[in-house]
């Protein structure tokens, strides 16, 4: 199989998906003004996307193994392009959210099937180079998204990003069909765990509703308790289903591996932290009561932080190999916690430069904790379990991002609204909302410090472990090893 087509299409598509993901938070203020949509509604454009991604990332990889990876890749590209058109034409905020929910499934399938195709088409050192390029494209997309979104918003309105993404997604389809060969995994059971997929969504969606609406509904209200009850029942149902299906979404036996569980929780915390702070900063910087930045200015303001993450990533694996993964991850979570503590001191008088020390600490902390945790997640298992372990890590990234975005959005909105209702100035109220949300993120991240102290690599990293670290800046890791 020629590798040029699969390398080009997989790298381009992951760049676009990750740019789209990171750009949306920057565009939310413009979408809200244009469509007269509230923050309470539009945060689901981020949270809903991640929730669906969490539920479908493993399933889409399994569908590629059974029905054909190229077929799933093409279908995902078509669905992604269609969702972009739906969002660009959206007359209301609710339609934007619906489009983003569809896009969550499409984006997860593009990442999973594209990387699976790339893994199958390459071997040995060539595979490592290909995965490294894929990881670089992923990181570049995440870094460029806010700036690209800001530029397009200024030039063509917020719809411009989605129109261009739709065109790129559509253009990739004939390219894939002409240059990429089909592949399947003939050894895999032919069943797809759709029940597990539905139950994952049934666990997460009510839980997120409870944590976001609990303060307004009342934490002991029937609505909040009902949401939590549904999540608990769905979790029990998920365990029962996974014990019985031929090809489970999650191999429950792996959850008895403390090293895998610890590294997965570390991944969840890191993903939640960066998703939460990205959401908060984009809103705070663009609010007229604070900096009043345009979407382009806000995108440029976040660029130095994204560049730090990209620059730190290549140095992390050598550091982990020299000093061990444990101290590197511990330092990462300490820096994350320090960054959010600094951010919790925010005052309405702060300038942009005052934010930078906190944001740089968060960026370096994420870089130090993320790559080694991803590598350990695969190093903790045998070769034939790498795909399943990576799938668990995939889900953790989406879950962390979805839950923490919802939590900080709820805190930011409720604290700000309460202070304004009490007669406080808008700028002070927004600073208080950002401070309280940052405290929540600091508490979240400090949990990673004792967790990381229990994590240690038991053997030298294999090629697949280094590949996992290279792909750690994305929302996904290899879903399955080559057959």
Using the CB atoms, write b or e for 133-142: b if 16+ within 10 Å: bbbbbbbbbb
Q: How far is it, in rounded angstroms, from Cα 227 to Cα 85?
A: 33
State the helix-helix crossing angle for 39-67 and 386-421, rounded to 10 degrees: 170
Which residues lie below 8 Å from residue 68, measured CB to CB, with a gap of 6+?
182, 183, 184
Mean pLDDT, contiguous 10-residue spans, the chain (483 residues): 77 90 91 92 91 88 88 96 97 96 93 83 73 77 87 93 95 93 82 89 90 82 93 94 86 84 86 89 93 91 81 73 80 93 95 94 86 72 71 84 89 90 91 95 90 64 57 46 37
Q: How far is it, in rounded angstroms, from Cα 224 to Cα 176?
A: 46
Whole-angstrom CA distances from 39 to 21, 28, 96, 224, 344 are 17, 8, 13, 20, 21
**Phi, then psi, of 476 in degrees rounded to 5:** -145, 160
Please tell me the predicted confidence (pLDDT) of residue 24. 92
User: What are the start-end ranges of the H helices in 324-425?
Assistant: 325-344, 352-379, 386-421
Q: How far is it, in rounded angstroms, from Cα 137 to Cα 72?
A: 21
Tokens representing 127 are: 């595979």
Please tell me the predicted confidence (pLDDT) of residue 74. 96
Three state DSSP letters for the chain: CCHHHHHHHHHHHHHHHHHHHHHHHHHHHHHHHHHCCCHHHHHHHHHHHHHHHHHHHHHHHHHHHHHCHHHHHHHHHHHHHHHHHHHHCCCCHHHHHHHHHHHHHHHHHHHHHHHHHHHHHCCHHHHHHHHHHHHHHHHHHHHHHHHHHHHHHHHHCCHHHHHHHHHHHHHHHHHHHHHCCCCCCCCCCCCCCHHHHHHHHHHHHHHHHHHHHHHHHCCCCHHHHHHHHHHHHHHHHHHHHHCCCCCCCCCHHHHHCHHHHHHHHHHHHHHHHHHHHHHHHHHHHHCCCCCCCCHHHHHHHHHHHHHHHHHHHHHHHHHHHHHCHHHHHHHHHHHHHHHHHHHHCCCCCCCHHHHHHHHHHHHHHHHHHHHHHHHHHHHCCCHHHHHHHHHHHHHHHHHHHHHHHHHHHHHHHHHHHHHHHCCCCHHHHHHHHHHHHHHHHHHHHHCHHHHHHCCCCCCCCCHHHHHHHHCCCCCCCCCCCCC
Predicted structure pTM score: 0.87
Which residues lie below 8 Å from residue 338, measured CB to CB, with a gap of 6+?
361, 365
Please tell me the predicted confidence (pLDDT) of residue 467. 56
Which residues lie below 8 Å from residue 343, measured CB to CB, with a gap of 6+?
277, 355, 358, 359, 362, 434, 435, 438, 441
Please tell me the predicted confidence (pLDDT) of residue 470. 54
Please tell me the predicted confidence (pLDDT) of residue 476. 43
Cβ of 33: how many Cβ atoms within 10 Å?
10
């Amino acid at each position: 199989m020629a590798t040029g087509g699969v390398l080009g299409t997989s790298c381009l598509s992951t760049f676009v998906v990750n740019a789209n993901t990171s750009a949306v938070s920057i565009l939310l203020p413009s979408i809200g003004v244009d469509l007269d949509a509230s923050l309470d509604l539009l945060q689901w454009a981020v949270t809903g996307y991640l929730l669906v991604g969490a539920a479908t990332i493993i399933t889409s990889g399994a569908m590629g193994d059974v029905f054909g990876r190229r077929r799933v890749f093409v279908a995902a590209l078509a669905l992604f392009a269609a969702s972009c058109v739906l969002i660009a034409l959206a007359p209301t905020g609710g339609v934007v959210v619906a489009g983003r929910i569809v896009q969550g499934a499409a984006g997860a399938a593009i990442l999973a099937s594209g990387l699976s195709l790339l893994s199958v088409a390459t071997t040995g050192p060539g595979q490592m180079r290909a995965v490294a390029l894929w990881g670089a494209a992923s990181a570049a997309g995440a870094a460029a998204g806010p700036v690209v979104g800001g530029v397009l918003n200024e030039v063509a309105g917020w719809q411009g990003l989605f129109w261009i993404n739709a065109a790129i997604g559509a253009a990739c389809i004939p390219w894939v069909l002409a240059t990429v060969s089909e592949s399947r995994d003939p050894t895999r059971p032919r069943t797809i765990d759709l029940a597990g997929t539905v139950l994952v969504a049934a666990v997460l969606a009510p839980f997120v509703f409870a944590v976001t609406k609990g303060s307004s509904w009342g934490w002991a209200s029937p609505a909040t308790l009902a949401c939590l009850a549904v999540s608990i029942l769905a979790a029990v149902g998920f365990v029962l289903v996974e014990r019985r299906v031929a090809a489970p979404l999650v191999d429950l036996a792996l959850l008895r591996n403390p090293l895998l569980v610890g590294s997965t929780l570390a991944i969840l915390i890191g993903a939640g932290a960066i998703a939460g702070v990205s959401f908060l900063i984009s809103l705070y910087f663009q609010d007229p009561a604070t900096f009043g930045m345009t979407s382009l200015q806000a995108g440029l303001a976040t660029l130095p932080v994204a560049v730090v993450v990209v620059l730190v990533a290549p140095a992390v694996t050598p550091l982990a190999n020299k000093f061990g993964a444990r101290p590197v991850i511990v330092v990462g979570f300490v820096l994350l916690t320090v960054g959010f503590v600094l951010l919790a001191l925010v005052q309405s008088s702060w300038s942009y430069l005052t934010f930078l020390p906190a944001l740089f600490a968060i960026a370096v902390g994420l870089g130090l904790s993320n790559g080694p945790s991803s590598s350990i997640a695969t190093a903790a298992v045998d070769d034939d379990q790498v795909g399943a372990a990576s799938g668990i890590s995939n889900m953790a990234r989406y879950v962390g991002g979805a839950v923490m975005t919802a939590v900080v959005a709820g805190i930011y909105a409720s604290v700000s609204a309460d202070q304004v209702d009490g007669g406080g100035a808008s700028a002070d109220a927004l600073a208080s909302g950002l401070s309280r949300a940052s405290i929540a993120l600091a508490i979240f991240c400090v949990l990673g410090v004792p967790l990381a102290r229990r994590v240690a690599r038991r053997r030298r990293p294999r090629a697949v472990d280094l590949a996992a670290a290279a792909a750690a800046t994305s929302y996904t890791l290899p879903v399955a090893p080559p057959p």
